[in-house]
Amino acid sequence: MALGIFGQMVRSELEDVVGEAFVSTDETDRLVYSTDWSWMAQMWLDRGQPLSKPDVIVHPGSPEEIADIMKIANGYRIPVVPYGGGSGTQGGALATHGGIVVDTKRLSKIIEIDEKSLKATAQAGIINEQLEWALNEKGLTFPHYPASSNCATLAGFLAARGTGTISTKYGKAEDLVMTMQVVLPNGTIIRTPAVPNHSSGPDFGRIFLGAEGTMGIITEATVQVDHIPEARYLRALLFEDLSKALEAGRRLMTRRLDPFVIRLYDAHSTASQVKRVLGYELEGSYMVVGFDGDPDIAALQERKAMAIFDELGARDLGREPGERWWNHRYDFYYPPKSLKLPWMYGTTETVTTYDKIEALYWAKKRAVEETYADHGVQYIGHFSHWYHWGVSLYDRFIIEEPPEDAEEALTLHNRVWTTAVRASFEHGGMINDHHGVGLKLGRFARMQYGPAWDLLVSLKKAIDPNGIMNPGKIGFGA
């Protein structure tokens, strides 16, 4: 790439900070860092269309180096895009405005594992699975098991407020974080308080959770960890009626039976996904439920749950299908088992309260299926992250024969998404539960937040007055 005089000067400044080996303007790097795990970026390249590329990629080795990079970028008003695992599905790591991509993966050290307080401190570019392996050596686990565990970084899933398979008991990533170190756009390095629960003023650290790199770069975090549970009891059930299955999940949660997982597939997912990946041919709604921890307590919780399932007419499929699901829970995301191009697909997941969830599901299904019937759209969903008050719906649309033309395809993709998100809003749902907003859903942020959106914009302006941090994401503009 020809950087020009200014670009070369900036590159030299960046090299002074991180060293020549850790600055790249190579075409291959620019190509690879131009995409992430979002359908729109992948489709764009698949159709032979180039994406906006970063001008330069830097690989800092310390928070101080990141601070110096920020000072350079802020001084020259150059966009900065933090890049962790690149596993975001909403285009949050796309360098839509060029600029500097800051790959955080050299910051991967585990700083401390505290076996007494059950917390681990690591640099935030560490891949989740590597942190997990290190904890497992000590009989511990970080109870954040996202499907992206192999590829998402600690900073990445905190910045996107990600969740994992066992969030129903252990919480989302944001619930597990205790403290963070963050580099602000002006290069200041700050720390949030050492403990998450106190009454010492507003919890300003929360502003960086879900900010997707628009407010600063998370460089270190301390998270709560657990002992690897002594027992994990899983089993599967089949419900003829989705309504009863949702009610079963609600009762488990509101009676605080503390399942670590409830995964409920709708009939379409059961017939397609469950069959394709697990090999079971079933009609109805397939549910996996699990209890863990002390074997006696987990067994008792499971017994109580079984009584509820029985009351609601569920068919007990036994342990094997539950354990099989657990052992293969990430297989759904390996191509060609995963949804993949040239198909069009999108995960329009959302979350709402128990009183609204069923109506929301049917309304979305109807809206998407009826509006896009001519495109042969399929709508599938599962309910996977359960709270005391409600549940997330992880729903997806699939069009197997989308338009060939990239722009036409993206337009249709956006329209389907609009239909789905509007249906969510009309039934009390959020833009989403855990995939973040990124580039894809920024246009819905103002709709979601109403007048409160201006407050968020003011905060963004106060923290990043020059608008250098990840421009164009979560609706903040450049």
Contact set with other proteins (CB under 8 A): 24, 26-29, 31-33, 35, 37, 42, 45-46, 48, 50, 59, 83, 85-87, 103, 105-106, 127, 129-130, 133-134, 137, 148, 150-151, 328, 330-331, 333-338, 340-341
Q: Least CB distance from residue 404 to other proteins, whole Å?
A: 14
Q: Least CB distance from residue 60 to other proteins, whole Å?
A: 10
Tokens found for residue 116: 């007494």
Q: Least CB distance from residue 57 to other proteins, whole Å?
A: 8
Question: Residue 171 or residue 438: which is nearer to other proteins going by CB?
Answer: 438
Tell me how far apart the alpha carbons of residues 279 and 158 are, in angstroms, rounded to a whole number.
34
Question: Residue 89 or residue 214: which is nearer to other proteins going by CB?
Answer: 89
What spatial distance separates the first Cα and last Cα of the chain, rounded to whole Å? 24
Q: Least CB distance from residue 191 to other proteins, whole Å?
A: 25
Question: Residue 29 or residue 433: which is nearer to other proteins going by CB?
Answer: 29
Question: Residue 330 or residue 387: which is nearer to other proteins going by CB?
Answer: 330
Question: Residue 365 or residue 435: which is nearer to other proteins going by CB?
Answer: 435
Tell me how far apart the alpha carbons of residues 355 and 252 are, in angstroms, rounded to a whole number.
15
Q: Least CB distance from residue 334 to other proteins, whole Å?
A: 4
Q: Least CB distance from residue 55 to other proteins, whole Å?
A: 16
Question: Residue 291 or residue 333: which is nearer to other proteins going by CB?
Answer: 333
Question: Residue 275 or residue 446: which is nearer to other proteins going by CB?
Answer: 275
Q: Least CB distance from residue 221 to other proteins, whole Å?
A: 18
Tokens found for residue 150: 């192999």
Q: Least CB distance from residue 333 to other proteins, whole Å?
A: 6
Q: Least CB distance from residue 7 to other proteins, whole Å?
A: 18
Question: Residue 204 or residue 334: which is nearer to other proteins going by CB?
Answer: 334
| 3-state per-residue secondary structure call for the chain | CCCHHHHHHHHHHHHHHHCHHHEECCHHHHHHCCCCCCHHHHHHHHCCCCCCCCCEEECCCCHHHHHHHHHHHHHHCCCEEEECCCCCCCCCCCCCCCCEEEECCCCCCEEEEECCCCEEEEECCCEHHHHHHHHHCCCEECCCCCCCCCCCEHHHHHHCCCCCCCHHHHCCHHHHEEEEEEECCCCCEEECCCCCCCCCCCCHHHHHCCCCCCCCEEEEEEEECEECCCEEEEEEEEECCHHHHHHHHHHHHHCCCCCCEEEEECHHHHHHHHHHHHCCCCCCEEEEEEEEECHHHHHHHHHHHHHHHHHCCCEEEEHHHHHHHHHCCCHHHCCCCCCCCCCEEEECCEEEEHHHHHHHHHHHHHHHHHHCHHHCCEEEEEEEEECCCEEEEEEEEEECCCCCCHHHHHHHHHHHHHHHHHHHHHCCCCCCCCCCCCCCCHHHHHHHHCCHHHHHHHHHHHHCCCCCECCCCCCCCC
Question: Residue 65 or residue 292: which is nearer to other proteins going by CB?
Answer: 65
Question: Residue 189 or residue 341: which is nearer to other proteins going by CB?
Answer: 341
Q: Least CB distance from residue 26 to other proteins, whole Å?
A: 6
